[in-house]
Amino acid sequence: MAFHLVVTILLLLGVTESHALTLSRTKTYDQLRAAIKESEAAYGLGGKVHLNPDERQADRILRAMKKDELKVVDRARPVAGMHFFDAKPFIENSTVFEALKLMPKGAILHLHNSAAVSSSWVIKNLTYRAEAKLCNVDDRYYFTVRPLNFCPENQTRPINQLRKERKDDIDTFDIWLESFISMKLKPTRIGYASTDELWLDFESCFDAMKGFLQYKPFFEAYHWQLLHEFYNDRVYYIELRMSFAKVFDAAGREYGPPEVAYLLHRIVDDFRRQHPAFQGVKLILAKHRNMTDGELEKALQLYDSLSTTFPGFVVGFDLVGQEDINRSLKSFSSLLVQPPVSSGPPKYFFHAGEIAGYFTEADENVIDAVLLDTKRIGHGYALMKHPILWHAVQHKQIAIEVCPISNQVLGLVRDLRNHPASFYVAQNIPIVITSDDPGFWDAVGVSFDYYYAFMAIAPHSGLGFLKQLVWDSIRYSSLSDGERQNITATMEKQWALFVRQVVSANSSATE
């Protein structure tokens, strides 16, 4: 719309009553109102994206679908405002979701390997294998293959044997197994669990899963499935956070971090041979933040050697875990600024501000992340409270890795229409949409997170917003120039195909 209308709005918002009166005589109320809406849409994330004629048609169709869907439901309980555990069957029924599943999503930039694969696959596949065992100690259960040092041998049993004993009720048995690695099946699901309670359950899922991923055949099958689930969800590239825990094989041979990196590299290569459109995976070394200075030093040295051995494959460093009750980034800052390694500080991809506010130093982790020159911020949920930082983040083009369902499941926000990413979208602060740990909450891939981004976080958005998110996921990745060229070529083809699919699925909604 005409530039002078924008100027009018700005004047109107800043000027005196008499000015406003004059203006309202020259422009009708409705015109000004429409101009405000239009200017806001153009200002926010995706507002300046160019759409070709096909895309404009797909945009109209998507907006019509969205409007239908937001209108049809019970207005007191719109799906976009529901908790994912309750909303999932409705989302799966949605035509918007159908379209989002078809959409090529570029890159996934925030994902933890041991929580990435759907829990149902882990149960239906890994626990049915002969080597799978369950250890029970202190009222807790751990999947494993070989005896764990904290679990007496007489408390470790083959899962198939246990399952046989329940032959009358295998479904219940399998759901019980799944409850060790699914937040949806934990007691905290019901009621008003505190952050600490939710995180205890969440960490228990990682603890339960760990033993399986240390066994080479399981490690390989699991990561193959990971690539498969994300590729099926139209993801072409992944930056995967992992701890590089040791792996052992059937003969008892142990594989240290470099060999684990090599194993994964081979799995990805094999997958790419079968799926040439898939660009690949890069790894971010992610260690639990409950460390001593000495342990952090070792972790930084490990990163140094891995990134030297695997340049372009091991590309970053991160600290993970519940922020408010653990050490702050500031408490580590001198080591992080000047690590005791020859090649200088790593590229950082810090989790920071995944927090509602607990009045600890860790509340300010976002400040330290930016000072430590983080390339992206994991979650950045608390960024909204730091005006200097949102300007810095915009200026330095530090993307916020937004994980809507994760934030909901871990209790930061109940209704995703209230997620601070709405503010980042309105302010055109760069974000990417990603899924964090989908396997632990009965999601798969990243489409469910895109659903909430589109329906709850940016309810007035259309195809331009989605296009911006998808292309930004490549822009803010660690891909090299050559790799960028290749994935861009793939994405352009897939995107055009997607747009045509949307248009042809509904040619009636054209204007």
Ligand X SMILES: *[C@@H]1O[C@H](CO)[C@@H](O)[C@H](O)[C@H]1NC(C)=O
Catalytic center residues: 354, 379
What would the DSSP string read from start to end of 181-243? S-GGGSGGGTTT--HHHHHHHHHHHHHHHHHHHTBHHHHHHHHHHHHHHHHHTT--EEEEEE-
Cβ proximity to ligand X: between 169 and 203 the closer is 203
Distance in Å, CB of 97 to ligand X, minimum: 11
Instruction: Report the largest interatomic distance among the alpha carbons of the chain, rounded to a whole angstrom.
Output: 86
Nearer to ligand X, 15 or 489 (CB): 489
Residue 436 interacts with which of Zn ion, ligand X, none, CB < 5 to 8 Å by class? Zn ion
Shortest Å distance, C-beta 315 to ligand X? 14
**Least CB distance to ligand X at residue 509 (A):** 4
Distance CA 206, CA 209 (A): 5
CB-CB neighbours of 377 under 10 Å: 29
Give the 3-state secondary structure of residue 284: strand
- Tally of CB atoms within 10 A around 4: 11
Instruction: Report DSSP state, residue 348.
Output: B
Question: Can you tell me which of 188, 326, 427, 501 binds ligand X, judged by CB under 6 A?
Answer: 326
- Residue 203 touching ligand X (CB under 6 A): yes
Q: Is 157 in the site for ligand X (CB under 6 A)?
A: no
Q: Smallest Cα–Cα separation from 285: which of 336, 322, 245, 236?
A: 245
C-alpha 104/C-alpha 177 separation (Å) is 33
Rounded to an integer, what distance in angstroms lies between the CA atom of residue 286 and that of residue 154? 34
With contacts defined by CB under 6 A, name the span among 166-174, 211-219, 258-266, 501-509 that binds ligand X: 501-509
Does the protein bind ligand X through residue 338 (CB under 6 A)? no
CB of 191 to ligand X, least distance (A): 21
Asked if 127 and 256 touch (Cβ cutoff 8 Å), the reply is no
**Residue 128's binding partner, choosing from ligand X, Zn ion, none, with beta-carbon cut-off 5 to 8 A by kind?**
ligand X
Part in contact with ligand X (CB under 6 A); list of ranges 50-58, 88-96, 109-117, 368-376: 88-96
Identify the residue whose tokens are 């699919």.
Answer: 501
The single residue among 104, 316, 321, 378 that binds ligand X, judged by CB under 6 A, is 321
CB neighbours (10 Å) of residue 470? 23
The residue from 136, 486, 488, 501 that contacts ligand X (CB under 6 A) is 486
Choice from 130, 192, 508, 511 touching ligand X (CB under 6 A): 508
Q: What is the DSSP letter of 436?
A: B
Nearest-approach distance from CB 336 to ligand X, in angstroms? 16
Of 170-178, 318-326, 376-384, 444-452, the segment contacting ligand X by CB under 6 A is 318-326
Task: State the alpha helices, DSSP H only, in 363-432.
Answer: 365-371, 387-396, 404-409, 421-426
Site for ligand X in 348-407 (CB under 6 A): none
| Binders in 97-156 for ligand X, by CB under 6 A | 125, 128-129, 152, 154
Cα 353 from chain centre? 15
Q: Spell out the residues 6+ positions from residue 497 whose beta carbon is closer than 8 angstroms to its own.
A: 104
Residue 483 interacting with ligand X (CB under 6 A): yes
436 is an interface residue for Zn ion by CB under 5 A: yes
Q: Tokens 């871990």 correspond to what residue?
A: 410
In whole angstroms, how close is the CB of 321 to Zn ion at the nearest point? 9
Contact residues toward Zn ion (CB under 5 A) are 436
Contact residues toward ligand X (CB under 6 A) are 64-65, 68, 89-90, 93, 95, 125, 128-129, 152, 154, 199, 203, 221, 288, 290, 321-322, 325-327, 480, 482-483, 486, 505-506, 508-509
